[in-house]
Amino acid sequence: MRRAIFPGSFDPLTNGHLDIIKRSSPLFDEIVIAVLNNPDKNPMFTVEERGDLIRQILPEIETGECALVVDSFSGLTADFARKRAATAIVRGIRAVADYEYELRMALMNRRLEPEIETVFLVAAEEFSYVSSSLMKQVFTLGGRVEGLVPALVEAEMREKLKN
Ligand code: PNS
């Protein structure tokens, strides 16, 4: 059983995240989409809301034989990956700017859990500038984000702005 975790804040899920999940699915039997519960970050969506959104959207994507599981975690990614008996941590690289931060995380995670490999996947060009934080900023200021986040995420962001 080749199990990977795909950790992130997912506040909210973007089409860039979905692209990475699709691209990684032929490589693994199961991918655990691991939503970080980070109370310091003042997120737009609670960890439960983020997980529920992901669960509703995942059936829309084709992942063949690869099972997708959604879970949340607190603490270290490396600890969560070990507890879930994962052999890999998947991360997406959008541009060179991501590399330094991702390299540091990958090396630290390897030091913490030498048996678990970080696997970097290159995001599709059209999502190379898409991040959750940019989507929130643009949407909050009245800009259009369709095509960059799932329609359900956009609808839920609209609901959040009403409150
Ligand atoms: O989607 P993000 O915000 O880029 O994801 C970053 C994440 C969640 C992968 C990273 O912040 C993380 O792993 N946090 C958990 C705490 C941890 O393990 N820190 C040490 C990383 S070497």
The answer, as to whether pTM is greater than 0.85, is yes
> Rounded CA gap, 26 and 23, in Å?
7
- Residue 76 Cα to ligand 1 middle (Å): 8
Between the CA of 35 and the centroid of ligand 1 the distance, in Å, is 10
Q: Are the C-beta atoms of 78 and 112 separated by less than 8 Å?
A: yes
Taking CB atoms and a 6 Å cutoff, what residues make up the pocket around ligand 1?
Answer: 7-9, 36, 76-78, 105, 108-109
Q: CA 37, CA 125: separation in Å to the nearest integer?
A: 29
User: Nearest residue CA, atom 16 of ligand 1?
Assistant: 76
Contacts of 132 (CB under 8 A, 6+ apart): 9, 10, 11, 12, 13, 14
- Tens digit of each residue's pLDDT (9 = 90 or more) over 77-116: 999 999 999 999 999 999 999 999 999 999 999 999 999 9
Residue 67 near residue 28, CB atoms below 8 Å:
no
